[in-house]
Amino acid sequence: MKSTYKAVEVYEPGKFRVVERQVSEPGAGQVRIRVEACGICHTDAATVMGVYPGLTLPRVPGHEVVGRIEGLGAGVSRWKIGQRVGVGLIAGEDGVCESCRRGDPVNCQNPVTSGVTVDGGYAEVMIAEARAISSVPDELTSAEAAPLLCAGITTYNALRNAGLRGGDLVAVQGLGGLGHLGIQFARHLGFRTVAIGRGRDKEKLAKDLGAHVYIDTAAEDVVAVLQRMGGARAILVTGTSGSAMGSLVPGLSAHGKLIVVGVPQDPIQLNAFPLVFGGRSIYGSLTGTPIDGEDTLAFSVLENIRPMIETVPLEQAADAYARMMEGKARFRMVLVTKNGAAQGTPRKPLRLPQRGDGLLRMIGDHVSKHTELSTDSKPLSYPFRLLVEKSELLRQRPEHAKMPDDIRTKTRPYFGMTVPPVAERRERPRSESTYHWLTSAVFEMT
């Protein structure tokens, strides 16, 4: 193994350079990860500009990191060499502060913070605290999984912990790295989902990601539209503008919540009137724990949620960061190392099945059922993945989705072609024959 690795460090505010560093051994309780992918989060700006509290430069940014363990420090028994894992922002609680003692490690007062107190993932190698890593399922490529470990966990946790109920009206403001995942999570958690963006250009994308309604703040009165719909039970604000946040409060229903995950530089302006009359509230939410990270990845696999990403080689981190800061990323820039590139390219994110896509919904149900049932996801994941990808192509020819009998007739000779052996499943699927013809039908038609 080479004794050095490539890293991209910030050496003074606003300036990156590519450096070669010595590979070091992980300390007690740590692992060394051969990085495959690292997402570029807007929070990285606090490292790049040198303003994150506790930061010293030079520092390697990056806290949406996925790679394989290649070294174990003393006392690490839970993890194995070769295992694929991820690291997020809050990457190790101290275990002794008041928050930790109250069982709230995310709000640890003295945490290890990736890319701030320790070097992060804009590198071929990263040393991480073993207690802070999450296991990454085989169904996700490293580049897909990386953004889920900050942008994903932050929006998923904020929504699932907000005391909402299925069918509630939930809005997501901002369509960046966080927002585009927030829309998908809101939709898949069962909420009536509204996307709030600036301009019409992102409307189609927002709807493809699952938004039922898109509100363009440049052309419409957001508060009036939300109130016409009954008022939002929650608005997840992911943008980087404080002035755009406070003005949304009157769009909430009585007891509605403005959940702040974006961290703008400018203050949030608030009017007390809608807070008091209607008992509305506003609070912040910070990322999550490593096990929340695993929940985020598992839910994304279950519901077929993926970030939309643009991958770039690690060495082009500065350009990719600039693209994110200019608001041009669609929607997450992900740095890929040469090890990551060897894992293959990520696939196109899939559109949700929509009303009228009866066949797609059935396929989706079968895929999740089978994924859940697999004893070892390896033999199953590839055919299932292919199946879902093909179902996306099927969507583009929706006339076929309305003709299951026709499909069945056409595809009888293909029965069983792509179905993994039954022996590999823990129990038989609900309807083996339906599954066979669906699988075959999709292949036949695409």
Ligand X SMILES: NC(=O)c1ccc[n+]([C@@H]2O[C@H](COP(=O)([O-])OP(=O)(O)OC[C@H]3O[C@@H](n4cnc5c(N)ncnc54)[C@H](OP(=O)(O)O)[C@@H]3O)[C@@H](O)[C@H]2O)c1
Q: Which is nearer to ligand X, 40 or 367 (CB)?
A: 40
Smallest gap from Cβ 98 to ligand X, in A, equals 20
Give the one entry of Zn ion, ligand X, none that residue 179 binds, where binding means its C-beta sits below a cut-off of 5 to 8 angstroms depending on kind: ligand X
Q: Which is nearer to Zn ion, 297 or 363 (CB)?
A: 297
Please enumerate in sequence order all residues whose Cβ is within 8 A of that of 251, keeping only pairs 6 or more positions apart, or say none. 171, 222, 223, 225, 226, 227, 231, 232, 235
Q: Which two structure tokens, joined as six digits, stand for 156?
A: 């998923």
Give Cα separations from 227 to 238, 252, 390, 404 (angstroms). 20, 7, 40, 41
DSSP 141: -
Site string for ligand X, 126-165 (x = CB under 6 A): ------------------------xx--x-----------
Residue 7: HSE in the Cβ half-sphere, 13 Å Cα cutoff: 22
Using CB under 6 A as the binding rule, whether residue 210 contacts ligand X is answered as no
Site string for Zn ion, 90-129 (x = CB under 5 A): ---xx--x--x-------x---------------------
* Nearest residue to ligand X, scored by beta-carbon proximity: 176
Q: Which stretch binds ligand X (CB under 6 A): 65-73, 195-203, 313-321, 425-433?
A: 195-203
Using CB under 5 A as the binding rule, whether residue 302 contacts Zn ion is answered as no
State the DSSP H helix or E strand holding residue 316, giving kind and residue range, or none if neither: none
Strand partners, 342: none
Using CB under 6 A as the binding rule, whether residue 311 contacts ligand X is answered as no
280 vs 297: CA distance, rounded Å: 31
Q: Which two structure tokens, joined as six digits, stand for 125?
A: 């190698």
Smallest gap from Cβ 58 to Zn ion, in A, equals 20
CB 420 within 8 A of CB 380: yes
Q: Which stretch binds ligand X (CB under 6 A): 50-58, 171-179, 342-350, 385-393?
A: 171-179
Q: Which is nearer to ligand X, 31 or 268 (CB)?
A: 268
Smallest gap from Cβ 248 to ligand X, in A, equals 10
Give the one entry of ligand X, Zn ion, none that residue 232 binds, where binding means its C-beta sits below a cut-off of 5 to 8 angstroms depending on kind: none
331-370 residues near ligand X, rule: CB under 6 A: none
Site string for Zn ion, 41-70 (x = CB under 5 A): x-x---------------------------
Tell me which residue of 311, 180, 290, 292 sits closest to 236, measured CA to CA.
180
Q: How many Cβ atoms are within 10 Å of 393's Cβ, its own excluded? A: 11
Residue 317: HSE in the Cβ half-sphere, 13 Å Cα cutoff: 32
What is the DSSP code string of 199-258? SSTTHHHHHHTT-SEEEETTTS-HHHHHHHTT-EEEEEE--S-SHHHHTTGGGEEEEEEE
Smallest gap from Cβ 284 to ligand X, in A, equals 7
Binding site for ligand X (CB under 6 A): 41-43, 150-151, 154, 174-179, 197-198, 202, 238-241, 244, 261-263, 285-287, 324, 327, 329
Binding site for Zn ion (CB under 5 A): 41, 43, 93-94, 97, 100, 108, 150
